[in-house]
Amino acid sequence: MWTFLIRRLLQSIIVLIGVTLISFISLQMGGDPTYLFVSENASVEEIQRAREALGFDRPLPVQYLSYVWNALHGDFGNSLSYRQPAMGVVLEAMPATIELTFFSLVLAIGLSIPLGIFAALNRGRPVDGGIMTLAMLGQSIPNFWMGIMMILYFGLYLGWFPISGHVPFLEPLFAGEFSTAFRNLPQSMYYMVLPALAVGTYTLARNARLIRSSMLEVLGQDYVRTARSKGISETRVVMHHAMRNAWLPVVTMIGLEFGFLLGGVVVVETVFSYPGIGRLVFNAINQRDIPVVQASVILLAGIFILLNLIVDLIYARLDPRVKL
């Protein structure tokens, strides 16, 4: 187990180094970054002094090592728009995105599991075809279009849900204001219904198809037929015998989905004016606030790598064969 863990940790470190390298190179590909830190009317001498002060006159390998060293100490530079540390700006927006991502994941998992099982148990019937057709549509429709349609119909036409805004839940919870946090929870969930559906539709559709195919494979195994021949109830056969082994690919997908959803909220948060990290990155790109973009990319990559590592460990626990 320790060899497996060490190997995964080394792989995670290599991936994180690759992310820092790509984010650094992308900054250099955009041209001389010095011009982002000086005014449009700066003279040649002022630009040169700024270049030397910022260290952009040094060789690129030296700049990269300096960038990594500063990043290891939590220094990602100052935001050009907010005039404060970039990572601090990103961390302020992170709780709202985690709320939306978590709620989207719970919504997607809570619906995909019963839909996938029900479709597998009714294989070849009209209800199976209907569920799989809806799943195909859910995977085909872009989430930003889904969000716009939800705003127009459920927000503006029916007036059931708000089309923008956010009531914080995690921020007061982290601050120790538990009464405020749980008082905000119903409103927070109410504001997240539409964006969570827009974000989680693809995950819901894909997981429903995955659970269906996994269940169909397991239901055809000999031990399931043996359990049925012993007179065990169908509910116990499905939930105790079949689901126990059908969970393995599902656990992998669920663990990774949180990371995928974090990266997929950028457009949805912009559509719903949701004050999370996705909207922050979108605005930072428009304003060429490179430090904020870099800090966001590295933070999201770090979270995704950590989740991937946790999933590997859970998978190794569920199926010891993967450690080989």
| pLDDT tens profile 106-152 | 888 888 888 887 887 788 788 878 888 888 888 788 877 888 888 88
Average pLDDT over residues 12-38: 74
- How many other C-beta atoms lie within 10 A of the C-beta of residue 54? 16
End-to-end distance of the chain based on CA atoms, in angstroms? 9
Spatial contact of 28 and 15, defined as CB atoms under 8 Å apart:
no
Q: Mind listing the domains of the chain with CATH numbers?
A: 2-72 (no CATH), 86-323 (1.10.3720.10)
User: Is the Cβ–Cβ distance between 251 and 322 less than 8 Å?
Assistant: no
The answer to whether residue 44 scores a pLDDT higher than 70 is: yes
What share of the chain has pLDDT > 70, as a percent? Answer: 77
pLDDT of residue 192: 80
β-bridge partners, 78: 85
Q: What's the pLDDT score for residue 309? A: 77
Q: Mean of the pLDDT values across residues 174-185?
A: 74
How many degrees, rounded to 5, is the angle at CA 254 between CA 253 and CA 256?
65
Within 8 A by CB and 6+ apart from 257, the residues are 105, 108, 203, 207
- Flag whether pLDDT at 166 surpasses 80: no
What pLDDT digit, counting tens, does each position of 244-278 carry?
666 666 666 666 677 667 766 777 877 887 788 87
pLDDT digits (tens, 9 = 90+) for 201-251: 888 888 888 888 877 777 766 666 676 676 666 666 666 666 666 666 666
136-147 tens-digit pLDDT:
888 788 877 888
